[in-house]
C-alpha cells in the first residue's frame, strides 16, 4: 500500500490486537454460517448496519444484523478517534469498508473498517476547486454517496474513491495512494431541450469490478475509467429518455421516482432500477396531501415517506439496445439497494435469503426536519414477482409504528480478509 495510505491509517491499535480481532471474526463467521471462502470474487451474505450504541463505560458498540444467520453481530471499541465521529453520517459502503462524513468535525470524510477498526482519512471537502460553491449556506459540506473501486486492504495502488457531492450532486474522485485533494469530473451543466441549461446532477453511481469502470447516472449513463493514467477518460456515454423506460408499474399522487444503478458481478449485468416512494403515507397506506398550518408552525410533517414498489431494467452499457424491462422475476437474483454500492447476487440455499427480491434501505435525498418523528426508516424486502413488501428484521412497515432511525441503516458486505 502506498505511503500516503500508511500515513493515514489509524495507529491506535497494535498489530497483535488486529490479528486477535480478525481471529475472533473468523470464528464468528464459521459459527454463524457466513461463507468464509477466500475467493475475492465471491460476494458474502450482506449485513445490515444498525445504529451504534454508546455504553456507560464509554465504549461504542457497532451493531450489524447478519441476514444469513438471522442474528446480530457486535463489535466493541473504545477508540477516541471513533468516539469523535460518533455523529458521523454514513455515506457509502463497499468492499467491507464504510464511508462516513461528519459535518460537525470540519467536514471530516473518512473510511472505516468496523471489523479491523482501521481508519483512512480522505482529502477534506475544502480541497475541491472553488469549495465555497460546494458548501451549504452554513458552511457545511454535503456528500450524498461514496463508492470504492477496491478494498484498501488489498494493497491496491489503484484504489479509487468516487463521490457525489454538493447540493447539485456532482462528481469528484481521489486515488487513496496518490491524491491529497478531490478532483471533479463530468460536465458542470447540461442542456435540456426547451428548458435551458441546468446543473448536471448525478442520481447514482456504482463500480464494476469486472469491467473496472465506474457507472454514473445523470441524463446520460456514463462509464468512467479513473485508474492508471493521469488523464481522465470517459469510456462511453449513453443518453436515455423516459421513452426508453415505457413500463412504470406504479402511478400515484405525491410520488418520487428515484433511479438506482445495480450491478450483478457474476453476470456482468447492469440494471437501472426505478424506486417508487410515496412522499406522505397515511395509516391506511394511502397518500396524504400536505397541510400548511401557518408561518409559525409551518407544514405538517407528521406523515412519513414510504417505498411502495420497484421496476428493474437491464441495460446494454456499450451497445444500442434499449433498456429491457425485467418481467415477472429477477432470474433468481436478489438486489441490495441503498447508499451502499448497490449490487445483485444469486441466492444459494446456504444463504437462507429469498431470491427475486429487492432488499432496500432508506436513501431519501431530501433532508428530514430535525424535529421529525421519522427518517432512516424506509427499510424492507420487495418481492418482485408478487409485488408485495415484507419487513426486514425488526423494522416495521405500518405507519403508526415508524420511528426515526439515525444513522440510517445500510447494507454492508464483510470482506474475506
Per-residue pLDDT tens listing for the chain (417 residues)? 444 443 333 333 222 232 233 333 333 333 333 333 333 345 578 999 998 887 777 677 889 999 988 999 988 775 555 544 556 788 999 999 999 998 766 678 999 988 888 889 999 888 887 766 667 677 778 899 999 999 998 866 789 999 999 888 999 999 998 888 999 998 777 777 787 788 788 999 999 999 999 999 998 899 999 986 545 576 667 777 767 887 788 888 889 999 999 999 999 999 999 999 999 998 888 888 888 777 777 777 788 999 999 999 999 888 778 899 999 999 999 999 999 999 999 998 888 899 999 999 998 777 777 778 889 999 999 999 999 999 999 888 888 888 898 888 999 998 754
Cα 407 from Cα 88, distance rounded (Å): 8
Taking CA atoms, 222 is separated from 187, 232, 313, in Å, by 11, 13, 16
pTM: 0.84
Taking CA atoms, 248 is separated from 255, 276, 356, 384, in Å, by 12, 9, 18, 13
Residue 154 DSSP code: G
Q: Looking up cell 461528519, which residue turns up?
A: 102
- Whether 224 and 234 have beta carbons less than 8 Å apart is answered as yes
Helix (H, G, I), strand (E, B) or coil at 22: helix
Burial class (CB in 10 A: 0-12, 13-18, 19+), 190: middle
Taking CA atoms, 393 is separated from 115, 379, 389, in Å, by 22, 9, 13
Taking CA atoms, 370 is separated from 87, 97, 141, in Å, by 14, 28, 17
What is residue 368's predicted lDDT score, i.e. its pLDDT? 72
For CA atoms 387, 284, 273, 65, the dihedral sign is: negative
Residues 6+ away with beta carbon under 8 Å from 126: 107, 141
Cα 328 from Cα 416, distance rounded (Å): 34
Q: Where is 24: in which H helix or E strand?
A: helix 15-32
Residues 6+ away with beta carbon under 8 Å from 249: 309, 311, 387
Beta-bridged to residue 89, according to DSSP, are: 101
Neighbours of 76 (CB within 10 A): 13
Cell matching residue 106:
470540519
Residue 36 DSSP code: -
Cα 98 from Cα 411, distance rounded (Å): 10
Burial class (CB in 10 A: 0-12, 13-18, 19+), 357: buried
The 8 Å CB, 24+ separation contacts for 396-401 are 398/283, 399/281, 399/282, 399/283, 399/285, 399/303, 399/304, 399/306, 400/283
Cα 100 from Cα 340, distance rounded (Å): 12
- Whether 34 and 115 have beta carbons less than 8 Å apart is answered as no
Amino acid at each position: 500500500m502506498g505511503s500516503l495510505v500508511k500515513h493515514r491509517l489509524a495507529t491506535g491499535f497494535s498489530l497483535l490486537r488486529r490479528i486477535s480481532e480478525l481471529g475472533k471474526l473468523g470464528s464468528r463467521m464459521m459459527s454463524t454460517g457466513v461463507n468464509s471462502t477466500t475467493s475475492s470474487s465471491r460476494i458474502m451474505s450482506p449485513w445490515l448496519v444498525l445504529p451504534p450504541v454508546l455504553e456507560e463505560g464509554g465504549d461504542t458498540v457497532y451493531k450489524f444484523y447478519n441476514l444469513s444467520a438471522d442474528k446480530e453481530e457486535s463489535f466493541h471499541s473504545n477508540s477516541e478517534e471513533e468516539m469523535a465521529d460518533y455523529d458521523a453520517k454514513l455515506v457509502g459502503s463497499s468492499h467491507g469498508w464504510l464511508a462516513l462524513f461528519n459535518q460537525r468535525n470540519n467536514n471530516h470524510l473518512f473510511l472505516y473498517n468496523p471489523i479491523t477498526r482501521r481508519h483512512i482519512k480522505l482529502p477534506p471537502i475544502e480541497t475541491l476547486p472553488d469549495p465555497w460553491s460546494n458548501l451549504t449556506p452554513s458552511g457545511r459540506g454535503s456528500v450524498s454517496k461514496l463508492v470504492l473501486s477496491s478494498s484498501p486492504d488489498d494493497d491496491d495502488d489503484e484504489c479509487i474513491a468516487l463521490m457525489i457531492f454538493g447540493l447539485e450532486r456532482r462528481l469528484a474522485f481521489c486515488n487513496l495512494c496518490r491524491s491529497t485533494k478531490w478532483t471533479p469530473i463530468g460536465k458542470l451543466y447540461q442542456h435540456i431541450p426547451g428548458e435551458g441549461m441546468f446543473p448536471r446532477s448525478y442520481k447514482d453511481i456504482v463500480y464494476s469490478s469486472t469491467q473496472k469502470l465506474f457507472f454514473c447516472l445523470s441524463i446520460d449513463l456514463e462509464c468512467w475509467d479513473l485508474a492508471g493514467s493521469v488523464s481522465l477518460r470517459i469510456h462511453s456515454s449513453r443518453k436515455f429518455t423516459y421513452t426508453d423506460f415505457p413500463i412504470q408499474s406504479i402511478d400515484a399522487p405525491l410520488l418520487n421516482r428515484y433511479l438506482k444503478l445495480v450491478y450483478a458481478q457474476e453476470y456482468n449485468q447492469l440494471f437501472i432500477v426505478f424506486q417508487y416512494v410515496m412522499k406522505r403515507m397515511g395509516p391506511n397506506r394511502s397518500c396524504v396531501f400536505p397541510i400548511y398550518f401557518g408561518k409559525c408552525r409551518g407544514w405538517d410533517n407528521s406523515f412519513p415517506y414510504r417505498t411502495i414498489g420497484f421496476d428493474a431494467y437491464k441495460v446494454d452499457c456499450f451497445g444500442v439496445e434499449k433498456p429491457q424491462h425485467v418481467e415477472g422475476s429477477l432470474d433468481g437474483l436478489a438486489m441490495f439497494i441503498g447508499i451502499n454500492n448497490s449490487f445483485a447476487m444469486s441466492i444459494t440455499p446456504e444463504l437462507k435469503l429469498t431470491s427475486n427480491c429487492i432488499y432496500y434501505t432508506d436513501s431519501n435525498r431530501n433532508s428530514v426536519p430535525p424535529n421529525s418523528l421519522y427518517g432512516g426508516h424506509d427499510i424492507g424486502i420487495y418481492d418482485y414477482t408478487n409485488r408485495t413488501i415484507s419487513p426486514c428484521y425488526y423494522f416495521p412497515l405500518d405507519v403508526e409504528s415508524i420511528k426515526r432511525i439515525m444513522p440510517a441503516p445500510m447494507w454492508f458486505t464483510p470482506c474475506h480478509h
